[in-house]
A and B are shown apart, each in its own frame.
Chain A
Amino acid sequence: MKTPLFGAFGAPGPKHMLGAMQSIDGRMRKYGNQGEVDFCIVGVGSAGGVLLQRLARAGFSVVGLEAGPLWDTERDWVSDEAGSHKLYWNDLRITGGEHPLTLGANNSGKGVGGGSVHWAAFVPRLHPSDFRVYSEDGVGADWPICYEDLKPYYELLEREIPVSGPAYFPWGDPHGYPYGPHPMGGCGDILINGCTKLGIRVCIGGPVAILAGSHGKRPHCIYRGYCIQGCKVGAKQSTLISHVPNALEHGAEIRDSCMVSRINLARNGSSKSGTVTGVTYFDSQGHEAEQKAKAVIVCGYAIETPRLLLNSACPGFENGLANSSGTLGKYLMAQAGNVVLGRFPELIRMYKAPPAHAMTEEFYETDTKRGFARGFGIQTVGPLPIAFARQMTIAKGAWGWGMRRVMMDYNHWGAIALLGEILPWPDNRLELAAEKDKYGIPVTKVTFNLHDNDKKMIEYGKNKVMEVMSAAGAEEVVQEQRYAHLVGAARMGSDPRTSVVDGFGRTHDIPNLFVCDGSVMPTQGSANPGLTIQALAARTADYLIAQSQFGLKKGAHSSETPRIRYDLSPPDTWGKGVPHLK
């Protein structure tokens, strides 16, 4: 057996590690659940992690309740596909409709960091047009905010997490990135070659929330390709490593393995109004407990957030909290994520390098000639053996000797994928099913149907991606249909009759109840949602901080845009990276 110069790599030490070089120092503050805290955050995921950090740093008492564990990355994470199953939300959900979505490993995480633990970390921004889809195309919805409202937060988060990518990203609102682009892997080369042959602009080496240079206590990427299994290195951002350590230093408490089962409400007499008082949850031992808070912010993902609000129905709020509009659980979206696989005569070895490292947004905007509204992007992916074998069961219908044969050629295959905008539709929804989980909470039933515009977009987009794959020199091209990135289902809007929250995430119905995660998105564009989710969280934090002086239970004090708190970024944010445009 070959051994490293200084012997085999040993077992992790006693410290709680967050990446190869960062650890949690000092003890976590404990508020206990006797008193009332300022803020209770349900779910410390992509949005929840950013929010927790901001609010703690601004001096508030804040408790984050997280259904999954507070990971020690050295002890808990592995460089292994099958061994990473525990990163996902694997509890039962029921899926149906004409085009049922697969859930679990295909969409959401459980544990501090949430979906940012297993995301591929592509971080494009939305385009300015995404905020006015209804005005421009007569489909979907408009956002109550515009691109300029979010732009400073995009810029802020791109530095905080931080993002590596080209100095000039040409689509949407053109901009550059603080860290330089990554080297190419096999799938990136395929995308570049294919796009170049067809005259399609393509951008390489990002934008990804993966370090191209070291940053604070985080080393840069080692190109091991296990991003979706959680980055043990700490090169790929998750809020667990970018924001949570700073939140804890500033006195935030994370109660992990605690599943919130309902949000409690004090009703104003017999009216249809009230304020929330806190939440009820099951702690890690399965005991029921309560946490009181001046305000509750639900950050549980586009499925668990509406589920919790629906399950918190009570007198006066029979259809669930914050659901006077009847839109809670509706307008759920997923992006079309068809994976196109190509076999090349030469070797590719696509398991090396981060799966996310090159993309094009050339087809992002509406082009009436194509016969459908909105568009799609094309991105690299890099399925490891199990994912690839499963794709082959679908893309080629492989099994038996055929499966063995195509898998022996794994190193000759490359993969790129569609990322297409599916529009928000009311019949794409989630509801509570009759079946219950181990806590007695009804499980979610998700219903999903593609509509005409969606089908046309997928057909066109899929063919375009296959064309790129062929142009790159693939001798055989197949594809697997897939959906990615659930968002929506508690959408923001200016009209309380047709939306759940306002432009800052405050529910229209209950002044001190907020939603902050992907579920507030009214449309989704064809950019991966993670950066937008974290940017929205930073913006909601600024709003909460500004409003808190007036008392959150009273409702919005003024609709003025809050000051952007550049002083609340985690350490290591400023003065880093390479000079960039703009």
Chain B
Amino acid sequence: MKAKDVKPGKVIRVLDASTRPIDPATGKPLEPRAQPGYYPGYDVLSQQAFWDAATRKVVLDRVRKIPPIRFFTPDETDLFRAVCDRIIPQNDRDSDHQIVIVNFIDERLHENRLDGYRFENMPPDQKAYQLGLRAITEIAQHLYAKSFLGLTTLEQEFVLKTVHDGNPPAGHDIWKRMPVHRFWHLLVQDIVGIYYAHPYAWNEIGFGGPAYPRGYMRLENGDPEPWEVEEKRYEWEAPLGSPSADYGAIAGMSEHPGAPGQRGTH
């Protein structure tokens, strides 16, 4: 069932077959791994002696020093953690190799570290998060008559998908103060920004990581450096029925072409 088909007020139940990705050969969930992705054995941190000291400190601090929660309330923290778990699910990672996300976003909001701008029709980032979390709670109540935390992972995804699609069935007074697609952007851009800053994620995607003062020498044909590894692909499928497995334009993008990229390139 697509989230679009969800009628406001109708309670749907989705069978929570598994929260883990599936091996298409056996149809069974894959065992959690220390390192998902197609570069088994690749460990970017094993190269840290080849990095400059300033970079080493920044990257290792990220792995070792998890900032305390100072901005979100305990309830908001639990809720937001569940939201992060759906925007970047980590059920294929074993518990020792999960990447902490909430604390780093909390730190940014606590320190009021901005990206240098705010859209004119958006509240300050802190307020946007508080309002957005409230709206997510209202959508969960509206669709399933439960708290977001009380839902199955698939149900949680359906709640978030209504925000992605720009047709949340509840929280209307909140969306009057903050366009849905702008909130979605803030949320996903922050979350992916934390996950893919982590060396575990670099291992997963086969990214070479810091390279000063050593540099790279094999520039073409996707060749690995001597210390990088070859790709070894395996098949996997998202948990059955997971709406986030499908790609689709963020709603509002065509009518409001107002979501340009945030990162400089050239």
- Which residues of the other chain, A, contact B46 by a CB distance below 8 angstroms? 1-2
| Cβ of A410 to closest chain B Cβ, rounded Å | 4
Give the interface size class of chain B: 35 or more
Within 8 A of A (CB), among B204-262: 204-224, 227, 231, 238-239, 242-250, 253, 257-262
- Which residues of the other chain, B, contact A352 by a CB distance below 8 angstroms? 208, 216, 218-219
Q: When the two chains form their complex, are residues B193 and A82 in contact, meaning their CB atoms are under 8 A apart?
A: yes
Contact with A along B149-193 (1 / 0, CB 8 A): 000000001001000100000000000000000000100110011
Q: Which residue of A lies closest to B236 (CB)?
A: A405
Q: When the two chains form their complex, are residues B211 and A95 in contact, meaning their CB atoms are under 8 A apart?
A: no
- Which residues of the other chain, B, contact A349 by a CB distance below 8 angstroms? 206, 208, 222-224
Q: When the two chains form their complex, are residues B196 and A83 in contact, meaning their CB atoms are under 8 A apart?
A: no
Supplied contacts A186-B221, A381-B265, 8 more A-B pairs, CB within 8 Å: A79-B211, A90-B115, A102-B261, A106-B263, A106-B264, A384-B207, A401-B239, A481-B261
Within 8 A of A (CB), among B76-132: 86-89, 92, 113-121
Give the residue of B88, B117, B217, B261 whose beta carbon is less than 8 angstroms from that of A403: B88
Q: Which residue of B lies closest to A223 (CB)?
A: B216
CA distance A389 to B202 in the complex (A): 12
Q: When the two chains form their complex, are residues B114 and A410 in contact, meaning their CB atoms are under 8 A apart?
A: no
Q: When the two chains form their complex, are residues A106 and B261 in contact, meaning their CB atoms are under 8 A apart?
A: yes
Q: When the two chains form their complex, are residues A11 and B53 in contact, meaning their CB atoms are under 8 A apart?
A: yes
Give the residue of B56, B238, B258 whose beta carbon is less than 8 angstroms from that of A401: B238
Contact with B along A65-90 (1 / 0, CB 8 A): 00000000011111111110100111
Does residue A103 face the partner (Cβ distance < 8 Å to B)? yes
Q: When the two chains form their complex, are residues A120 and B266 in contact, meaning their CB atoms are under 8 A apart?
A: yes
Q: When the two chains form their complex, are residues B116 and A92 in contact, meaning their CB atoms are under 8 A apart?
A: yes
Stretch at the interface among A225-233, A272-280, A307-315, A316-324: A225-233
Q: Which residue of B lies closest to A382 (CB)?
A: B265
Contact with B along A347-380 (1 / 0, CB 8 A): 1110111011000000000000000000000011
Describe B's contact surface by its main secondary structure. loop
Within 8 A of A (CB), among B49-91: 49-56, 58-59, 62, 86-89
Does residue A581 face the partner (Cβ distance < 8 Å to B)? no
Q: When the two chains form their complex, are residues B217 and A9 in contact, meaning their CB atoms are under 8 A apart?
A: no
| Cβ of B100 to closest chain A Cβ, rounded Å | 14
Q: Which residue of A lies closest to B50 (CB)?
A: A4
| Cβ of B247 to closest chain A Cβ, rounded Å | 4
Q: When the two chains form their complex, are residues A118 and B264 in contact, meaning their CB atoms are under 8 A apart?
A: yes
Q: Which residue of B lies closest to A183 (CB)?
A: B219
- Which residues of the other chain, B, contact A1 by a CB distance below 8 angstroms? 45-46, 48-49
- Which residues of the other chain, A, contact B206 by a CB distance below 8 angstroms? 349, 410-411
Q: When the two chains form their complex, are residues A107 and B264 in contact, meaning their CB atoms are under 8 A apart?
A: yes
